[in-house]
Structure 1
Amino acid sequence: MTALPPGSTIGILGGGQLGRMLAMAAAPLGFDVKIFVPQDNSPAERTAAGATVAGYDDLDAVEAFARGCDVVTYEFENVPADTARAVERAGVPLRPGAQALEVAQDRLKEKTFVNESGAATVAFAAVSSPDDFAGAADSVGFPAILKTRHGGYDGKGQAKVGSAAELESAFDSLGRRPCILEAMCGFVREVSVIAARSLDGDFVPYPLAENEHRDGILWRSTSPAEAKPAVNDEANRIARAILEALDYVGVIGVELFECEDGALLVNEFAPRVHNSGHWSIEGSQTSQFEQHIRAVAGWPLGDPAPLGRAQMVNLIGEDAETWPDLARESGAHIHLYGKNDIRPGRKMGHVTRVSPLKS
């Protein structure tokens, strides 16, 4: 397996902040990055060597874009699987492969896949029509959460359900689309593990992160999280099992619920660099973004060792307007994503602070 030399071109499907930070991480390694994105003037486009602005359904444009790259990756999980397959048809390596997208884009497939990989989840059942209400209610119980199988993020595309009588209205509120009913979990906290798998199968996990949400959106991640060795080991085992089952190349984020007894349940995985790993830019020997570039380029994986205890806080909506105060704060590492419009609930940037590890 030949590693791509400096001067090679890495293509990225998607033009958001993750693509922006991937492009920034690729530059010091000598790579050029090209972006494929439906909208002009995207955050990633402005840090890349070039961009193709076309729709994801323009498969001729996708194939032409791919042929101008040495390898292609993606920066968010809602890139259509047909788009990913077009890259493969062009004869250009796609890392991670299209299967990871296909699984992550369907919550029912995802939960089933995770269970088949040897990791636990909450109880769940498919709800495609009112005919499924009774069976889903019996197998999952209440309280529960009804979620659309496709789309939805940061708390969108879901509704809490307290009883069987509420299923009809919840299903209506979600547009009567195919859904999944998930049992609510009495977890003590959410944690996540960021991990990478190389082209030759090496597995490298980052320290566990503890995550806090506000209004369904990740607000703060702290890593390394305080956790028993058995919890760390189990999180790494789960991540490795998912990566290997997908024959995955690149960085993945796996969100986990930690129960009172220390058991871990997989909430979901993201086949890309992950918001809860942003701390690694200043808090680790090798950031998750450089790690992903290394993996897809066929390079050896870097050292994920922490440089301190890092706390990353998302700047959501008007939080971004506090940048003058953050700029005056010693030790505050500010990342603004170059988004033109501030909207409630929109991730505009993040700030990371790193303190010494406890001895």
Structure 2
Amino acid sequence: MSALFEPYTLRSLTIPNRVWMPPMCQYSADTSGPGTGAANDWHFSHYTARAAGGTGLVIVEATAVSPEGRISPADLGIWNDTQAASLRRITDFLKGQGTVAGIQLAHAGRKASTDRPWNGGGPVGAEQGGWQPVAPSALPFEEGHHVPAELTAPEIKHIVAQFADAARRALDAGFEVAEIHGAHGYLLGEFLSPHSNHRTDEYGGSFENRVRFTLEVVDAVRSVWPEELPLFFRISATDWLDEGGWTPDDTVRLAPLLKEHGVDLLDVSSGGNAARVRIPAGPGYQVPFAARVKAETSLPVAAVGMITETEQAEKILSNGEADAVLLGRELLRNPSWARLAARELGSDVHVPQQYHRSV
């Protein structure tokens, strides 16, 4: 069996292969009435197609823990039971195909209240369904974006509780993996980085203070997430800044703390917290960040970043650079990537009975 199609067990959960789908926002949730933030037919068809294609783990897109935590008015939410119920149809189908259902719990912080990307992605006001974003410090993401309100200590505690409530609902909705979103310049990542966190209280300044909110969220989610099920954390390994930002050294330093607090795997991405930085994107460009965490800590890792080819993905795993790979844009292009890769490698993967003629 190839490394790519070897099952992977975390706690008591076994994921059938190492081809995973990362969270990718669809900006297609309902935007009005009691169904605001709920999943609909688009989400069902989108996620179930990848399960039918043999993907071992599908992580549902960044799902907001509060209305203010959405990136856009069209984001998925999980702050109420109606939203959670809308996701059950998806998790039931995924499980029926042997795919593990995961969800990313998120708060957009200062990057909230923006439009859909295909509408330009700029900030939206109240007349367009927007709201006042919040952040560790009153610093906009870039010129022209909302100036966020600086969170008070009680407000921070309230958001920690919202993450725990969201995790409870995710469990009720049938998810077996929860991922906390600490990457791409959203709220937790904003607290981690000195670029966006200029606080002088117990949540700012030193490394220990800047990671405090993250660890409080992890503790809150872990306290309600079953002991037998895994918890992931997604991180941007670097802000891609020459100075004054979050660095790969910081990521390696944080990883053991996350593990001590109950995180089972680090989903390693990069960027998103500083506007207009130069990122040397290319095939596998983020894999070295995951590889370093794996080499220098005992926390399992998943690698991302322009992983598109079967041989490329197989080598990442067989070389010990990561424990799994997450294919984003490639799975948007080809929902059956896992099935085709298994054929190339002479491995087995789940194929729906209806698709057996394609084998």
TM-score (norm 1): 0.30
Structure number with bigger Rg: 1
Higher relative contact order (CA 8 A, sep 6+): 2
**Which structure features the higher share of helix residues?**
2
